[in-house]
């Protein structure tokens, strides 16, 4: 039991944001536009006005109320601490301004690599992927090696080509996992479908392929979404109150944080009920 806890803790540390070990890279490197998710416009490479001298966010505990909901649902998958502490050996961009521009270019690339590592690790943890275990392990090791390259080499990477290779394995993972579920009778539910604002309360979507689906503001209350592939699905403001998402794959905490729900929502054990769901429930 203690070994399992150690493995889970190590996974969480490596592939989830650890802001204490990061130089506020997502608050500087990434651009955003004024919208429902951000209170103002910001160019890439420009520090957010809420970023403090210690690289912490001045409104971290009040992001939603201050108009920065987009920040509350962002996940770097551990890329921030990797770039800060490994790629640049703990040398921050304020004390070493000559490396700032390069660091800000490296960060979003590292984020993509760490996202792939997150999904590959999940795939390797599933019993159903035994037939492709060696391929998944090889892809994970290859991706991990890319994260340890020099900054210039990382910037020069052909990330789309590598992502295509990884995605093929994740697609195979999805098919293997969902094969244990009888084919869904709802033929209209498929990969990349636009379900913006869809009324799907109580729907049986068990075993669906919702990769890249647009579920913004969809009514999914009490829906059966178990054993469903959620990779890349947009769940912003989707209502998951009372929904069953157990056994779902490639679902991230960031996706859950962007949605609505309640204490009756059933999540995979690796994910947690967001704080703002508790507030709604009260």
Domain with residue 231: its CATH number is 2.160.20.80
Do 204 and 84 lie in one domain? The reply is no
Domain span at residue 269 reads 188-282
Q: List per-block mean pLDDT (blocks of 10 residues) for the chain, which spans 282 residues.
A: 50 84 98 95 97 96 93 95 98 97 98 98 97 98 98 98 98 96 68 89 95 96 97 97 98 96 96 84 48
Domain boundary among 177, 203, 231: 177
Angle CA(212)–CA(216)–CA(218) in degrees, nearest 5? Answer: 110
Do 168 and 196 lie in one domain? The reply is no
Do 113 and 173 lie in one domain? The reply is yes
pLDDT for the residue 191: 73
pLDDT for the residue 192: 74
Angle CA(70)–CA(74)–CA(228) in degrees, nearest 5? Answer: 110
pLDDT for the residue 268: 96
Do 157 and 56 lie in one domain? The reply is yes
pLDDT for the residue 13: 72
Do 115 and 222 lie in one domain? The reply is no
Do 211 and 71 lie in one domain? The reply is no
The CA-atom distances, in angstroms, between 205 and each of 200, 249, 258 are 9, 14, 20
Q: Does residue 89 lie within any of the structural domains?
A: yes
pLDDT for the residue 182: 83
Q: Does residue 183 lie within any of the structural domains?
A: no
pLDDT for the residue 161: 98
Q: Does residue 10 lie within any of the structural domains?
A: yes
CB 97 within 8 A of CB 88: no
Q: Does residue 182 lie within any of the structural domains?
A: no
Domain boundary among 114, 144, 177: 177
Domain boundary among 177, 204, 231: 177
Do 40 and 150 lie in one domain? The reply is yes
User: How many domains does the chain divide into?
Assistant: 2
Do 23 and 155 lie in one domain? The reply is yes
pLDDT for the residue 12: 63
pLDDT for the residue 184: 65
pLDDT for the residue 5: 43
Q: Does residue 220 lie within any of the structural domains?
A: yes
Tell if the pTM clears 0.85, that is, is over it.
Answer: yes
Do 164 and 195 lie in one domain? The reply is no
Do 41 and 66 lie in one domain? The reply is yes
pLDDT for the residue 1: 42
Residue 149: partners with Cβ closer than 8 Å, 6 or more residues away: 157
Name which of 81, 83, 63 is nearest 73 in CA terms.
63
Do 107 and 201 lie in one domain? The reply is no
Do 17 and 97 lie in one domain? The reply is yes
Q: For the chain, how many residues are written? A: 282
Q: Does residue 52 lie within any of the structural domains?
A: yes
214 vs 155: CA distance, rounded Å: 30
* Helix and strand counts by DSSP (H, E) for the chain: 9, 0
């Amino acid at each position: 039991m203690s070994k399992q806890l150690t493995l889970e803790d190590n996974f969480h540390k490596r592939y989830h944001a650890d802001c204490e070990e990061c130089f506020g890279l997502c608050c500087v490197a990434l651009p955003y536009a004024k919208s429902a998710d951000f209170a103002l416009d910001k160019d890439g490479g420009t520090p957010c006005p809420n970023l403090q001298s210690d690289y912490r966010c001045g409104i971290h505990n009040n992001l939603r109320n201050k108009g920065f909901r987009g920040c509350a649902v962002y996940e770097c998958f551990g890329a921030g601490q990797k770039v800060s502490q490994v790629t640049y050996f703990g040398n921050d961009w304020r004390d070493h301004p000559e490396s700032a521009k390069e660091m800000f270019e490296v960060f979003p690339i590292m984020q993509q690599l760490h996202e792939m590592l997150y999904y590959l690790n999940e795939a390797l943890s599933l019993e159903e992927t035994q037939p492709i275990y060696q391929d998944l392990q090889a892809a994970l090791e290859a991706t991990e090696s890319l994260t340890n390259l020099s900054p210039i080499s990382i910037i020069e990477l052909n990330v789309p080509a590598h992502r295509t290779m990884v995605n093929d394995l994740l697609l195979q993972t999805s098919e293997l996992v969902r094969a244990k579920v009888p084919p869904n009778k709802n033929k209209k539910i498929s990969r990349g479908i636009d379900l913006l604002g869809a009324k799907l309360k109580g729907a049986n979507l068990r075993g669906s392929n919702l990769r890249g689906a647009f579920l913004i503001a969809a009514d999914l209350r009490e829906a059966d979404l178990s054993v469903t592939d959620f990779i890349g699905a947009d769940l912003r403001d989707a209502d998951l109150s009372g929904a069953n998402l157990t056994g779902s794959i490639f679902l991230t905490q960031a996706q859950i944080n962007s949605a609505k729900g309640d204490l009756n929502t059933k999540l995979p054990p690796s994910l947690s009920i967001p704080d703002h769901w508790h507030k709604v429930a009260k």
